[in-house]
């Protein structure tokens, strides 16, 4: 735990994703509590965050109550650092602060972009972050800890969509995976066997010729399921979203657009070198071959050789990159003292106090 403004006050770090909430004291290596981002009875669960955006503020308030309950931390006695989506609107940032200051009476608050915090977790302050999460994929350029919003690329596709795609592909073969149990099995198939093909068309053709070379998955009842090409087709949707019924640009196009924006910066400008370091983050970015495929496709698009280094954080840290970056930031007493919004400031200035300090 860290000490803020000399008063011995701890900071709680919270990262609420579309699928999972991570929380715990700042300064720790990993979040102490990890649980689904859902509230309500099992038969009628409500997800307050969908595709990285808060869609139900009452449910979000209830989820934050669960955060304090699970961590055992008194909100009135702890500052809070919140990791939010890089596409969050100013009005939503202000709404989140309002809930925490007025409903939970926290004493101090800071909100940071998940992309920037993920970069901190890798020991960097500048680069391009590609975050492939549970329900959404974001990519954005960051310079010295400041995000460049005009470079943001978003694809409304994440790990849950890859699992649903597996269900559809198996259904096409007459294999039904229904209900929550079926979805859980599909998620495990993606997690255990999903990989990115370097040449999707040729590998899919080869698997059709020799289907037994594809992996097998053991169902909960002990039955062995022989996969065909589902384990590479589901991940191919990251490059060809239409394969999963999703509109939008694939990862290569999203990254290339960012490269072009950065290249357009003036000679010697801060953006021109950002694309030399590309960080892959998020639980759905852990497929073997992903970084190599991206590098191959970007090289193929470049007219001249480029210095692009694509890397990632090792597991399990990659699942929790934004939280870890927030934990590192919260452990710096000088940062907390100089950058957190104090309760008195918010009560006097409202959302403007958040926009002023949290950029």
Give 180-211 pLDDT, tens digit per residue. Answer: 999 999 999 999 999 999 999 999 999 988 88
Proportion of the chain above pLDDT 90, given as a percent: 81
Alpha-carbon Rg for the chain in angstroms: 21
- pLDDT category at 359 given cuts 50, 70, 90 is low
Contact criterion met (CB below 8 Å) for 112 and 326: yes
pTM: 0.92
Give the 3-state secondary structure of residue 8. Answer: coil
* Each residue's pLDDT tens digit, 142-172: 999 999 999 999 999 999 999 999 999 999 9
CA–CA separation, 327 vs 322, rounded Å?
9
pLDDT (average), residues 90-98:
95
Predicted pLDDT of residue 333: 83
10 — pLDDT class (breaks 50, 70, 90): confident
CA 186 to chain CA centroid, nearest Å:
20
pLDDT tens figures, 19-42: 999 999 999 999 999 999 999 998
DSSP state of 100: I
Query: Region 37-58: what's the mean pLDDT?
Result: 95
Mean pLDDT of 250-270: 90
Cα gap 106→339, rounded to integer Å: 15
- Residue of 136, 256, 118 whose CA lies nearest to 127: 118
Q: Is the pLDDT of residue 1 over 70?
A: no
Task: Compute the distance between CA of residue 27 and CA of residue 105 in angstroms, rounded to an integer.
Answer: 23
Reported in sequence order, the residue ranges of the chain that DSSP labels E, i.e. its strands, are 10-16, 20-25, 33-36, 49-50, 53-54, 78-84, 108-113, 127-132, 137-143, 146-147, 153-155, 216-218, 224-226, 277-281, 309-312, 341-342
Q: What is the pLDDT of residue 2?
A: 44
What is the model's pLDDT at position 235?
Answer: 97
Question: Higher confidence at residue 265 or residue 39?
Answer: 39
Q: How confident is the model at residue 8 (pLDDT cuts 50, 70, 90)?
A: very low
**How many Cβ atoms sit within 10 Å of the Cβ of residue 47?**
18
> In 3D, which of 160, 180, 177 has the Cα closest to residue 282?
160
Q: What does the pLDDT average to over 294-301?
A: 93
Residue 338 has pLDDT above 50, yes or no: yes
């Amino acid at each position: 735990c860290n000490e803020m403004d000399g008063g011995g006050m701890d900071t709680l770090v919270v990262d609420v994703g579309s699928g999972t909430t991570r929380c715990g004291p700042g300064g720790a290596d990993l979040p102490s509590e990890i649980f689904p981002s859902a509230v309500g009875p099992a038969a009628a669960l409500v997800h307050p965050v969908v595709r990285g955006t808060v869609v139900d503020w009452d449910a979000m308030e209830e989820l934050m109550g669960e955060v304090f309950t699970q961590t055992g931390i008194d909100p009135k006695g702890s500052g809070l650092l919140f990791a939010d989506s890089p596409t969050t609107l100013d009005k939503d940032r202000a709404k989140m602060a309002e809930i925490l200051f007025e409903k939970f009476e926290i004493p101090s608050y800071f909100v940071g972009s998940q992309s920037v915090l993920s970069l901190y977790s890798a020991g960097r302050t500048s680069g391009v972050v590609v975050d492939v999460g549970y329900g959404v994929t974001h990519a954005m350029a960051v310079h010295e800890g400041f995000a460049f919003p005009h470079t943001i690329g978003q694809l409304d596709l994440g790990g849950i969509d890859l699992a649903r795609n597996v269900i559809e592909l198996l259904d096409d073969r007459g294999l039904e995976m229904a209900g929550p149990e079926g979805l859980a099995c599909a998620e495990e198939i993606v997690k255990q066997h999903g990989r990115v093909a370097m040449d999707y068309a040729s590998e899919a053709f080869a698997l059709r010729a020799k289907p037994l070379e594809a992996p097998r998955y053991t169902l909960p009842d002990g039955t062995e399921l022989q996969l065909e090409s589902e384990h590479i087709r589901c991940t191919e949707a990251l490059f060809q979203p239409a394969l999963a019924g999703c509109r939008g640009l694939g990862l290569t196009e999203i990254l290339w657009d960012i490269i072009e924006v950065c290249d357009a910066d003036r000679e010697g400008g801060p953006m021109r070198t950002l694309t030399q370091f590309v960080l892959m983050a998020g639980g759905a970015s852990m497929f073997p071959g992903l970084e190599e495929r991206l590098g191959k496709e970007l090289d193929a698009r470049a007219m001249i050789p480029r210095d692009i280094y694509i890397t990632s954080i090792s597991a399990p840290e990659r699942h929790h990159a934004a939280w870890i970056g927030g934990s590192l930031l919260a452990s710096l007493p000088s940062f907390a003292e100089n950058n957190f919004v104090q309760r008195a400031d918010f009560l006097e200035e409202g959302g403007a106090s958040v926009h002023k300090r949290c950029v």
